[in-house]
Structure 1
Amino acid sequence: MPSPLAAPSYAAVLRTRHACRTFGAALVGRLSYGTVSLSLVLATSEATDSYAVAGTVMALFGLTSVLLSPTRAGLIDRYGPRRALPPMAGGYALLLAGLALATAWPGASGVLLGVLAVTAGACTPPLGPVMRTLWSDLLPEPALLRRAYSLDGVAEELLLVTGPLLVGLLVHVASPSLGLAVSAALVLTGTLALVSSPAVRAAGRPAVRPAGRAAGSAAEPSADRVPLWHAPGLRQAVAVAAGVGMCLAALELLVIVVVDEHHTPGAVAWVMAALSAGSAVGGLVYGAVPWRVPARLRLSACAAGLGLVVAAAGLSAHPHALVGWAALGGLFVAPALTTAYLIADECAGPDTRTRAGAWVNTAFNAGASGAAAATGLLVGRLPLPACFALAAAPALLSAATALRAPRRPGLIVRTVR
């Protein structure tokens, strides 16, 4: 562990004992999430010769994965990552391999692919929430933990950009089904490497309570007595995550509409790259600043900043201008999600931390899915500036909810693990 007197930095985070090994293993497994979506769509459309079937299979996979994420995270909290992760990753990898095999030749059954996609989505291992829980174990110091969460968020952003590029290379040399096989290999390799880390073995030990403080004592109520969803601040973190997800999904679709109107389809990649680059820069800067402002106010400011930028982007909806607006808006994305995850971790007891982070992740993905469908219905019916304003509304409304100090139903006791 780094010395408590050492200056907090990203280097100090990575120098922490077992941090590089654990983080590297998690990133290998999480790269699978950057490759699987595009691989599944391409492989299914090629095997069935139907984009409708491909879209349905992808929707089934995504919905099952997102909606069951808190349940899988609850299994991690209950049984520990060493016992719960390998069966999930093994089943997930096996089902992805089945999808790769089923899509390797034309004429695949859409029903079979749908069943395989649903069961694969149900088994998706929650490597992101698990890694964030491990960061909390490795780095109890708040300043270092904030840097670790920022680094984690930036790395995840880069994986989501790198994954489709890797799939593009694979498609050039082989069929899209190879991307599914590679996704299976990545998640299995990364998960097995993760659970073999000493940090994961340490995380599975029973919680150690301070001397003289028994669990559930009258002086200090146990966190286990407070339902997770009633924990102070968690609902605000979840609301902001959902608002950010809705805002970004709507923005992505509106960018496609704008570049299509200006007949510059190649600009989509530039706008989305600017968004990712802005998010990476914002995340790194956010983690390096020694904030004195409470996390709740930082969460509200980040969500409001993103919403205001997206609303302003509608006033100059040109592909070249959108590159700048996307880069500016991206500065708020990683900080908003990092703060939401930090608040969720602070709200949770020792036996619900993985599930708390999974709720934030689920809210972001569910919000993104719902907003994409809603925005598709609005485009063409409203002027583009109005569409951009509506896309910004979820982030702005969630920022308002985060301003209100939550009522505390009881003390949350953070035991030393």
Structure 2
Amino acid sequence: MQLYRKALAIPGLRTLLVLIFFARLPGTAAGMVLTLHVAVSMGRGYGAAGTVGALATIGIAAGAPVMGRVIDRYGLRRMLVITTIGEATFWVVARFLSYPLLLACAFFGGFLVVPAMSIGRQAIAAIVPPDLRRTGYSMDTVSTEMSFMVGPAAAVLVATQFSTQTAMLVMAGGLVLVGLLLYVVDPAVRSAEEKSAEQVPRRSWLTPRLVGVLIVGAGAVFILGGTEVAIVAHMQELDALAWTGVVMAVWSAGSAVGGLVYGALRRSMPQVLLMAGLGALTLPIGLAGEWWVLMLALVPAAVLCAPTVATTAEEVARLAPPAVRGVATGLQSSAFTLGQAAGAPAVGFVVDHASPAWGFAVAGLGGLVIAAVAGLLSVRRRDLAEVPA
């Protein structure tokens, strides 16, 4: 625990972790609010809700590096003004829109999302020294797990006890509050030494190795998104749907424990190795024949979830120059978003046409394939480095 004590003693880190936890909540609740509004309140069904969610997801993936570029060139506060006003306006207006209009606006609502996760990773890289970044990012990943445990549950509570229109209004208010807090605190996204860093050509930092890191990040979230779908389907097949919340909580807790343990290590583990382990441990989960066996089978893979995501953030901060850290972390957010967008429907398709067990197998196999691709990119990078100029 010595590394955690050192990290938490860094001025501003505790405040940053608490602030970013609350800043993430609207983003974690957004998908649930949109799904319930379209599928239930508008009566359009879950397919229509998924289409709106897909367009919003594409918008988030496209907007993250753009907002990162704005931070790099003009500073955090200017970006916050743009995204806070834009996203809050979307949620205020969206509750009055018909389905076709909501479909048309979903992309822009996603494009203007306040990039709380990206801001948190940039701020950690700015205030935490390199030897403690693994610990800092591990705490950030655990905080993310907690945000995803609270945000969707709060969205369901407000939407069911009041209405989805009320939930949308709460979303707008929450986003304004988050934007104001971030604007006032204005966490540093570059250290004092990094503020004078000059812009560098993209080809000098967007290397095959960094692309491999982003691919691994997308692969990790591909597994997580697919596993979530497979869990629900498997629990339904076992006629134990009522216990799904318990299984999900244990799964999240296992990931959080893995993140805490990883943050206490003195040395980083190879990212590709973590990814391969996550994929391999996910493959056989669907063989569980009882819900409690499924819950226990999820734990080994869950322990590697947070470390794989944390080491992605650590590698991006190490490989990307300070002058382009906003774009780099934005690309990381895009990779996570696209991984989630691919994992859930891919595994859902397999579950619909085969079985939940095959859903886990596809999620794990996808992770192994992605780990192999990232490993090849890393080898290619080393080969290029060995060639004389």
State if a TM-score over 0.5 links the two structures. yes
Pairing of 1:141-180 with structure 2 (within 5 A): 142-180=130-168
Are residues 287 and 40 of structure 1, via their aligned partners in 2, closer, same or farther at CA, if it must alter by over 3 Å? same
Please list every run of 5 or more consecutive structure 1 residues that lacks an aligned counterpart in the other structure.
Answer: 1-6, 103-107, 210-214, 216-222, 411-417
Are residues 127 and 349 of structure 1, via their aligned partners in 2, closer, same or farther at CA, if it must alter by over 3 Å? same
Encode CA deviations 1:187-210: one digit per residue, 9 max, x unaligned: 22222212322643876997346x
CA distance in structure 1 between the partners assigned to 2:243 and 2:62 by the alignment: 33
Q: SS at the partner of 2:327?
A: helix
1:16 aligns with 2:5: no
CA distance in structure 1 between the partners assigned to 2:42 and 2:160 by the alignment: 20
What is the deviation of 1:376?
Answer: 2.6
CA distance in structure 2 between the partners assigned to 1:197 and 1:151 by the alignment: 20
**2:41, 2:164 within 8 Å by CA — same for their partners in 1?**
no
Aligned length: 381
Identity of aligned residues (%): 27
Q: CA RMSD in A?
A: 2.5
Pairing of 1:218-233 with structure 2 (within 5 A): 224-227=200-203, 230-231=206-207, 233=209
What is the deviation of 1:85?
Answer: 1.8
Q: If the length of structure 1 is used for normalisation, what is the TM-score?
A: 0.83
Encode CA deviations 1:223-251: one digit per residue, 9 max, x unaligned: 71352663362111111112112222222
Q: If the length of structure 2 is used for normalisation, what is the TM-score?
A: 0.89
Encode CA deviations 1:48-95: one digit per residue, 9 max, x unaligned: 221143332222222211233222222222211122222111211121
Question: Which residue of the partner structure matches residue 119 of structure 2?
Answer: 130
CA distance in structure 1 between the partners assigned to 2:7 and 2:115 by the alignment: 22
**1:302, 1:336 within 8 Å by CA — same for their partners in 2?**
yes
CA distance in structure 2 between the partners assigned to 1:60 and 1:204 by the alignment: 39
CA distance in structure 1 between the partners assigned to 2:185 and 2:352 by the alignment: 52
Which of structure 1's runs of 4+ aligned residues deviate more than 6 A? none
Are residues 119 and 318 of structure 1, via their aligned partners in 2, closer, same or farther at CA, if it must alter by over 3 Å? same
What is the deviation of 1:334?
Answer: 0.7
Structure having the larger proportion of residues in helix = 2
Are residues 285 and 111 of structure 1, via their aligned partners in 2, closer, same or farther at CA, if it must alter by over 3 Å? same
Question: Which residue of the partner structure matches residue 29 of structure 1?
Answer: 23
**2:77, 2:183 within 8 Å by CA — same for their partners in 1?**
yes
**1:39, 1:177 within 8 Å by CA — same for their partners in 2?**
no
Encode CA deviations 1:161-186: one digit per residue, 9 max, x unaligned: 10122123323431122222222222
CA distance in structure 1 between the partners assigned to 2:83 and 2:191 by the alignment: 18
Are residues 208 and 61 of structure 1, via their aligned partners in 2, closer, same or farther at CA, if it must alter by over 3 Å? closer
Pairing of 1:231-270 with structure 2 (within 5 A): 231=207, 233-270=209-246
Are residues 196 and 205 of structure 1, via their aligned partners in 2, closer, same or farther at CA, if it must alter by over 3 Å? farther
What is the deviation of 1:138?
Answer: 0.7
Code of the residue aligned with 2:200 in structure 1: it is D
CA distance in structure 2 between the partners assigned to 1:280 and 1:396 by the alignment: 22
CA distance in structure 2 between the partners assigned to 1:188 and 1:198 by the alignment: 15
What is the deviation of 1:19?
Answer: 2.3
CA distance in structure 2 between the partners assigned to 1:58 and 1:288 by the alignment: 37
What is the deviation of 1:384?
Answer: 5.1
Q: SS at the partner of 1:145?
A: helix
**2:221, 2:339 within 8 Å by CA — same for their partners in 1?**
yes
